[in-house]
Amino acid sequence: MKPVPFTYVRAESVEHAVETMRAHGGEAKLLAGGQSLVPALNMRLARPTMLVDLNRVPGLDRIDEKNGDIRIGALVRQSTAERTRLVRERCPLLAESLPLVGHFVTRNRGTIGGSIAHADAAAELPLALVALGGSVITTLRTISAAEFFVGHFTTVLAEDELVVATAWPRTYPGEGSAIVEFAPRHGDFALASSACVLRVEDGAVAEARLAVGSVGERPELVDAEPLLGSTLDDDRVRSVGASAAAAVDPPPNLHGSPAYRRALLGTLVERAVGTAWARATGKSV
Amino acid sequence: MRTSSCGNASVSLISPRDSGGSFGIKSAVYAYVVLIGLAARRFGVPVRWTEDRLEHLAASSASTARVTELEAGFDSDGKLIALRYDAIEDVGAYVRAPEPATLYRMHGSLAGAYDVPNVAARNRVVLTNRCPTGLNRGFGGPQVYFALERTMAIAAKRLDLDPAEVARRNLIGRDAFPYRTASGGLYDSGDYGACLERALEVARYEERRDEQAAARAAGRLVGIGIACVVEPSISNMGYITLAQTAAERAQTLPKSGNAEGATVVVNPLGGVTVRISTTPQGQGHKTVAAQVVADTLGLEPADIDVVSELDTATDAWTVASGNYSSRFSGVGAGAVLRAAEKVARKLEALAAAQLGCEPHEVELRDAKAWHAAEAVSVRRLAGIAHWHPDALPDGVEPGLHETAYYAAPNLAPPDEDDRVVSSAAHGFLVDVAVVEVERTTGAVQVRDYVSVHDAGRLLNPLIAEGQVRGGFAHGVGAALFERIVYDEDGNLLTGTFMDYLCPTAADVPSLRMEHLETQSPFTALGAKGLGEGTTMSAPVAIANAVADALGVDALELPLTPARVWELLA
């Protein structure tokens, strides 16, 4: 619980933050809500020589709708997003994900951009962003979620590149989504998780996106093709769950063996798909 | 062993009023306690020890891990006639006092709530490279009852009897108290049968069994578990010496009992202060001490100031003082009562001289001393004791400052055959747990949990309820969550509260509780300890329910989803 000594810089602007990062070539870390970084510092799992505090940077705390996306500034607190009507109405998958992130006190500090940039393989927001096909807007470019996450705690961000906002595709009538996870206690990192977005037309699945989390190096889309073109029944849902489970190779974990986590994932995929279907159609599987 | 050259009088303990949580962690002399003393002497400055979470989880103290082989012999009527324990206790890296006491705290209660004439126990201690062990709420109880009550549940299956019926046939009868156990315990009082029947009633046991049959028919995994637990309190200091042979014990000063001191002071204005030496960490000792003194002196609890700082150089204490083995309501409050009674007797003597009657004719109530319709205020009596010694009756000393000690009776040292009255008071509780196991995830949901508890006279019902709920949370932790894990190379993997899982408020199932009151004849107020019962009962009650749901015998705690899922596979 004693961090390695570091220098602290309060960034005045995005440009200032980027310059400072550039000047320290990989030795600096950005501090947003600090809910993952500060424990990592205290446990000496992270040993940056400099912290660049983003919390006073203006202009990163807006939520608005643009071109069919809900665009959320990087510094928007998770609890703020959770309470925002636009998020609840236009992006129900994000709204459902947020209460699963840590605890309400950590969400009062934790930011949406911070959770995405931190890229914990078991985190809910990266999983939801991948499932929705959203994107990450940085100081240099816009990156699709599927390309953004490389591995556990690893993204394609350059050393002097800053996440400015994330873009979450809005929902349309006929869509249903769900995120489910299994953790030993509420607020713990999930042992397995899954998120699903379905668009239903004339009683059949017209579009399907299915992602799994916690069981590999990053949240990943899995094959949702078998869901397309029909109504969903138990067998179909079960077989999608089984193929998703067969496709992953979760590492052993303090709270569950690979076999357990694989089986758990199959169950969670079934639940995510089944719930998304029910929400899209008002009918259970 | 000589570690520091200082006179015995220069070693004392000062414990602050608010010292925070404990649950047993403070009941050991840690290496750092000695080291900070040495460092302070070496450098001539005050020295403070700061320990972070990782250091604490890695190397302070943990509960013991125990493997118990328990053989139980029943006659054809389902009557338990013999128990044979063979326990192997992992005490970690070295045996640190008071270990291996985890093995002996329950020595007098090895047969739990059952009338068993024959009990044998073999205890072995192993040293490993794990964190050294020590006291943890329930101290030894969860380990004994996991073995005993699992055995009773398995026996019920083999005897083809309902577990409640097996308990019913074996509980110690209400007329048998005080009851001498085969291992030397002396149970003070109880009505175990009534407690069992009430628990079954509150839990709607028969209905639950019907619901279980219906759920099973529908493919659901529902189980019901019972635990009958005798909750010892007020440990006999002598039981720790059971780790020695009888011959070794004969060489040293015998140890017994569990004594406590308290002081009640009345100032010249009639203000009353109580000093206690039980070092509370949130258990409400001050509240109860004020109640006891107020009741004894005819005052209101709000009028009593209670001081819980302890300075061993000046306060009334013994080596047994402190906060452990749920001893406050038995001996802590007992010492307070005795000190208050001394003050009351003196006030009565002073009042009798003022009112022209005999001391025994004086009644203390409403902050006055009464004889018939005449009264003199406690404030005036205090003024006399302080300001006006000339008015004191013969043989009455000036001042109003009384210290008393109280020790529970009947706590002798171990005998030559290793029998010991390991505790002074024995509460009783029957828990009924109803669980459902989710087949796909292995998650255990506690659907209902009932605990009917008898801890003698409840000195403060609200505090009693808090203690039972808190003990239950610890029991749930042991049942479902808490586990210290090392990797193959001996690295600790559970060095944070994200890895070492304690139940949070959201993870503790709701608990329905009731209390019966069978007073203890062995404590001053008839009260028994009650802070540890549900810590002892909940792990095995939940385990019995899970075993019943899964139809398996072999279980290991905690019953994490992954473990339960593997039992289902």
Mutate to test the interface with A, among B439, B440, B560 (most CBs of A within 10 A): B440
Q: Are B17 and B42 in the same domain?
A: yes
- The residue from B372, B407, B442 where one domain ends is B407
pLDDT for the residue numbered B448: 98
Helix H, strand E, coil C: the string for B62-128 is ECCEEEEEEEEEECCCCCEEEEEEEEEEECCCCCCCCCCHHHCCCHHHCCCCECCCEEEEEEEEECC
How many Cβ atoms are within 10 Å of B402's Cβ, its own excluded? 20
**d(C-alpha A79, C-alpha A112), whole Å:** 9
Q: Count how many domains chain B has.
A: 3
Q: Report yes or no: A107 and A95 within 8 Å, Cβ to Cβ.
A: no
| Helix, strand, coil in percent for chain B, rounding step 5 | 35, 20, 40
Q: If you average pLDDT over residues B498-526, what whole number do you get?
A: 96
Closest CA to B350 of B387, B395, B393, B401: B393
Cβ within 8 Å, pair B562-A267: no
Q: Are B497 and B555 in the same domain?
A: yes
In a domain? residue B139: yes
**d(C-alpha A76, C-alpha A54), whole Å:** 12
Token pair belonging to A170: 């809005």
Run of H or E including A275: helix A258-281
pLDDT digits (tens, 9 = 90+) for B450-469: 999 999 999 999 999 999 99
| Alpha helices (runs of H) in A209-257, residue ranges in sequence order | 234-247
User: Which of B52, B442, B498 is opposite residue A1, by nearest beta carbon?
Assistant: B52
Cβ within 8 Å, pair A254-B441: no
User: Which of B493, B501, B562 is opposite residue A185, by nearest beta carbon?
Assistant: B501
In chain B, positions 73-112, which contact chain A (CB-CB < 8 Å)?
Answer: none
**d(C-alpha B441, C-alpha B243), whole Å:** 44
In a domain? residue B253: no
- Amino acid (1-letter code) at residue A48: P
pLDDT for the residue numbered B5: 62
Q: Are B137 and B284 in the same domain?
A: no
Q: Are B330 and B478 in the same domain?
A: no
User: Which of A1, A186, A256 is opposite residue B562, by nearest beta carbon?
Assistant: A256
**d(C-alpha B328, C-alpha A173), whole Å:** 65
In a domain? residue B158: yes
Residue whose structure tokens are 């501090």: A31
Q: Are B127 and B158 in the same domain?
A: yes
pLDDT for the residue numbered A1: 67
Q: What is the ipTM of this complex?
A: 0.93
Strand B512-516, strand B444-454: pairing: parallel
In a domain? residue B3: no
Residue whose structure tokens are 């190096």: A217
User: Which of B440, B481, B494 is opposite residue A267, by nearest beta carbon?
Assistant: B440
User: Which of A1, A39, A260 is opposite residue B566, by nearest beta carbon?
Assistant: A260
- The residue from B391, B407, B423 where one domain ends is B407
pLDDT digits (tens, 9 = 90+) for A237-280: 999 999 999 999 999 889 999 999 999 999 999 999 999 999 99
Among A88-102, B4-18, B140-154, the minimum mean pLDDT is found in: B4-18
In chain B, positions 402-461, which contact chain A (CB-CB < 8 Å)?
Answer: 440-443
Q: What stretches of B267-367 adopt beta strand conformation (E)?
A: 272-276, 304-307, 310-311, 363-365
Chain B residues with beta carbon closer than 8 angstroms to that of A264: 440-441, 565
Q: Are B184 and B120 in the same domain?
A: yes
Chain B residues with beta carbon closer than 8 angstroms to that of A43: 54, 496
Cβ within 8 Å, pair B561-A256: yes
User: Å from A198 to nearest chain B CA?
Assistant: 24
As to burial, measured by CB atoms within 10 angstroms (0-12 exposed, 13-18 middle, 19+ buried), residue B48 is exposed
Q: What are residue B7's phi and psi, to 5 degrees?
A: -65, 150
How many Cβ atoms are within 10 Å of B550's Cβ, its own excluded? 20
- The torsion angle over the Cα atoms of residues A240, A199, A146 and A62, rounded to 10 degrees, is -140
pLDDT for the residue numbered B6: 67
**d(C-alpha B210, C-alpha B256), whole Å:** 50
In a domain? residue B377: yes
Q: Report yes or no: B322 and B513 within 8 Å, Cβ to Cβ.
A: no
As to burial, measured by CB atoms within 10 angstroms (0-12 exposed, 13-18 middle, 19+ buried), residue B487 is exposed
Q: Are B205 and B283 in the same domain?
A: no
Bridge partner list, B223: B435
A34-39: list long-range contacts, CB under 8 Å, 24+ apart: A34/A109, A34/A114, A35/A102, A35/A106, A35/A109, A35/A110, A35/A114, A36/A110, A36/A114, A36/A115, A36/A118, A36/A120, A37/A114, A37/A118, A39/B496
Q: Are B91 and B215 in the same domain?
A: yes
In a domain? residue B101: yes
- Distance from first CA to last CA of chain A, Å, rounded? 49
B322 in the Ramachandran plot: left (φ > 0), alpha (ψ -120 to 50) or beta?
left
pLDDT digits (tens, 9 = 90+) for B321-349: 999 999 999 999 999 999 999 999 999 99
Residues 6 or more apart in contact with residue A224 via CB below 8 angstroms: A196, A208, A209, A210, A240
pLDDT for the residue numbered A283: 85
pLDDT for the residue numbered B338: 98
Bridge partner list, A156: none
User: Å from B509 to nearest chain A CA?
Assistant: 13
Closest CA to B336 of B398, B378, B273, B383: B273
- The residue from B361, B387, B407 where one domain ends is B407
List C-alpha distances in Å: B428 to B57, B194, B333, B533.
32, 11, 20, 8
pLDDT for the residue numbered B569: 84
Cβ within 8 Å, pair B443-A263: no
Chain B residues with beta carbon closer than 8 angstroms to that of A2: 52
pLDDT digits (tens, 9 = 90+) for A148-173: 999 999 999 999 999 999 999 999 99
User: Which of A2, A188, A264 is opposite residue B441, by nearest beta carbon?
Assistant: A264
Q: Are B333 and B286 in the same domain?
A: yes
* Eight-class DSSP state of B176: G
Q: What are residue A130's phi and psi, to 5 degrees?
A: -65, -45
**d(C-alpha B322, C-alpha A169), whole Å:** 62
Whether residue A49 is predicted with pLDDT greater than 50 in this model: the reply is yes
pLDDT for the residue numbered B18: 84
Q: What are residue A227's phi and psi, to 5 degrees?
A: -80, -15
pLDDT for the residue numbered B2: 47
**d(C-alpha A114, C-alpha A107), whole Å:** 11
Helix H, strand E, coil C: the string for B128-175 is CCCCCECCCCCCCHHHHHHHHHHHHHHHHHHHCCCHHHHHHHHECCHH
- Please work out, in degrees rounded to the nearest 5, the angle formed at the alpha carbon of residue A217 by the alpha carbons of A212 and A219: 30
B18-21: list long-range contacts, CB under 8 Å, 24+ apart: B19/B279, B19/B281, B20/B281, B20/B282, B21/B281, B21/B282
A120 in the Ramachandran plot: left (φ > 0), alpha (ψ -120 to 50) or beta?
beta
Tally of residues, chain B:
569
Closest CA to A229 of A212, A251, A205: A205
Q: Sheet harboring B259-266: ordered strands across?
A: B304-307, B272-276, B259-266, B401-407
* SS3 state at B531: coil
Q: Sheet harboring B65-74: ordered strands across?
A: B65-74, B80-90, B118-126
Q: Is A188 touching B (CB cutoff 8 A)?
A: yes
The residue of chain A nearest to residue B487, with distances taken between CA atoms, is: A254
| DSSP string over A171-202 | P-TTEEEEEEEE-SSTTSPPSEEEEEEEEEET
Strand B368-371, strand B363-365: pairing: antiparallel
Chain A residues with beta carbon closer than 8 angstroms to that of B497: none
In chain A, positions 80-119, which contact chain B (CB-CB < 8 Å)?
Answer: none
pLDDT for the residue numbered B1: 39
In chain A, positions 122-151, which contact chain B (CB-CB < 8 Å)?
Answer: none
pLDDT for the residue numbered B4: 53
**d(C-alpha B101, C-alpha B141), whole Å:** 11
Q: Is A231 touching B (CB cutoff 8 A)?
A: no
**d(C-alpha B213, C-alpha B79), whole Å:** 27
Mutate to test the interface with A, among B441, B492, B564 (most CBs of A within 10 A): B441
Q: Are B434 and B308 in the same domain?
A: no
**d(C-alpha B293, C-alpha B336), whole Å:** 7
Q: Are B421 and B455 in the same domain?
A: yes
In a domain? residue B302: yes
Whether residue A64 is predicted with pLDDT greater than 70 in this model: the reply is yes
* SS3 state at A263: helix
Q: If you average pLDDT over residues B487-506, what whole number do you get?
A: 93
**d(C-alpha A213, C-alpha A209), whole Å:** 13
Run of H or E including A106: helix A104-109
Domains and CATH numbers, chain A: 7-53 (3.30.43.10), 63-169 (3.30.465.10), 175-281 (3.30.390.50)
Closest CA to A173 of A285, A65, A281, A284: A281
In a domain? residue B178: yes
Closest CA to B147 of B102, B83, B62, B57: B83
**d(C-alpha B325, C-alpha B235), whole Å:** 6
Q: Is A38 touching B (CB cutoff 8 A)?
A: no
**Average pLDDT of chain B, as a whole number:** 95
Question: What CATH number does the domain containing B219 carry?
Answer: 3.30.365.10
Q: Are B270 and B201 in the same domain?
A: no
- Please work out, in degrees rounded to the nearest 5, the angle formed at the alpha carbon of residue A19 by the alpha carbons of A16 and A22: 150
Token pair belonging to A115: 């959770």
Tally of residues, chain A:
285
Chain A residues with beta carbon closer than 8 angstroms to that of B504: 185-187
pLDDT for the residue numbered B149: 98
Chain A residues with beta carbon closer than 8 angstroms to that of B562: 191, 255-257, 260
pLDDT for the residue numbered A168: 98
**Average pLDDT of chain A, as a whole number:** 96
Q: Is B500 touching A (CB cutoff 8 A)?
A: no
Whether residue A236 is predicted with pLDDT greater than 90 in this model: the reply is yes
User: Å from A260 to nearest chain B CA?
Assistant: 6
Q: If you average pLDDT over residues B392-420, what whole number do you get?
A: 94
Q: Which domain holds residue B354?
A: 259-407
pLDDT for the residue numbered B217: 98
pLDDT for the residue numbered B240: 87
